[in-house]
Copies of this chain bind each other. A is one copy, B any other.
Amino acid sequence: MSNKNIGIKDVAIAAGVSVTTVSHVLNEVSYARISPETRDKVRTISEQLGYGPNRLAQALRTQRTGMLGLVSEDIATTPHAGRIILGADEAARARGYNLMIINTSGSASIESRQADVETLLDRRVDGILYATMYHRNVELPANLGSVPSVLVDSVATGGNITAVIPDEEGGARAAVGALLEAGHTRVGFINNTDDVPATRQRLQAFRATLTEAGLDGDAAPVESEVSEVQGGYEAARRILARENPPTGLFCYNDRIAMGAYRAAAELGLTIPADLSVVGFDDQELIAANLHPGLTTVALPHYEMGAWAIEHLIDAVEGKTDLTLMALHPTILSCPLVRRDSITAPRQ
């Protein structure tokens, strides 16, 4: 049990030594020559008194706070934020750092986001993690450059900051591959309508994977809608109304897949027997709870948070040069999560 009224001075007095000696002993300063007896005494007394150094004073003196700033866009509106924060927090505490969090809005002005970073800077964080909630191009506040920073789930428009993003293409290939592997030859894709990298990359990977498997990727049925349940429903109705409808459906995300489930049910199609479906995102609340469970692709949010913190700390401690890594974003893989929504096509 520690008592925060105890300072190093109190320990020093109680142990009958100077504060310097206490500091040297407790920090195990290599060049300090202090007898084992004194060391023991200092440690014992310090323990008894429940002494813990005042991190503020320590930080002031050493110019290191051991705090990292985490600015998170739209923390409450997506369940992904939690995983990024968890990954970041666990990686940080494993190396003795803590997180200061600031929430911001993706639609906030650049000035307001700059002020957020400023707040962090005034508190002398050692580095900053800037997390967006979906993969896109983002304009970053200029003052981010004042300390080591890493961008999570986006790339900067300027492009000169280290970033970590999900492997959209690999994920999409895995999803389509799962359908192909099950024997489907008529495979469709319900895409998103937003102009984000994922939209283009997943589509391209979809076509490429089919083509490489000897199918006609360019002719494969594709519908686009807003990436919500309703959009998924509508697009699925359209795609399933085509002649020779697909027996395998790759959906841009799990919400679209949820809409497709409803469309299938209305058409009397059983999943997966009549229609195999694969999603993207692995939003557990949806994917695991649909019936049958939705096979989908997981976004590595936890991993991205941890990766970012790991490299941020390396940079803070001078073990890495982030500017070198800034040349290309780091890509983390998106594993396929197999549940029960894919099987071989009928007949």
Contacts and interface: CB of A to CB of B under 8 A. Distances in A.
Interface of A: 1-2, 4, 52-57, 59-60, 65, 67, 70, 75-79, 81-83, 85-86, 89-90, 93, 98-103, 118-119, 121-124, 142-143, 146, 228-229, 233, 255, 258, 262, 265, 283, 285-286, 289, 291, 302
A299 to B, nearest CB: 13
A101 B79 contact: no
Nearest to A3: B146
13 contacts: A56-B123, A76-B86, A78-B82, A85-B103, A98-B100, A98-B102, A98-B119, A101-B101, A228-B289, A229-B289, A229-B291, A283-B285, A285-B285
Nearest to A101: B101
A12 to B, nearest CB: 19
A101 B99 contact: yes
A59 B56 CA distance: 7
A70 B98 CA distance: 12
Contacts of A289: 228-229, 255, 258, 286
A122 B285 contact: no
B143 A2 contact: yes
Contacts of A291: 229, 233, 262
Contacts of A146: 4
Contact of A103 (B57, B86, B285): B86
Which residue, A79, A82, A93, A101, has most C-beta atoms of chain B within 10 A? A82
Given A1-B143, A2-B143, A285-B79, A124 B86 contact: no
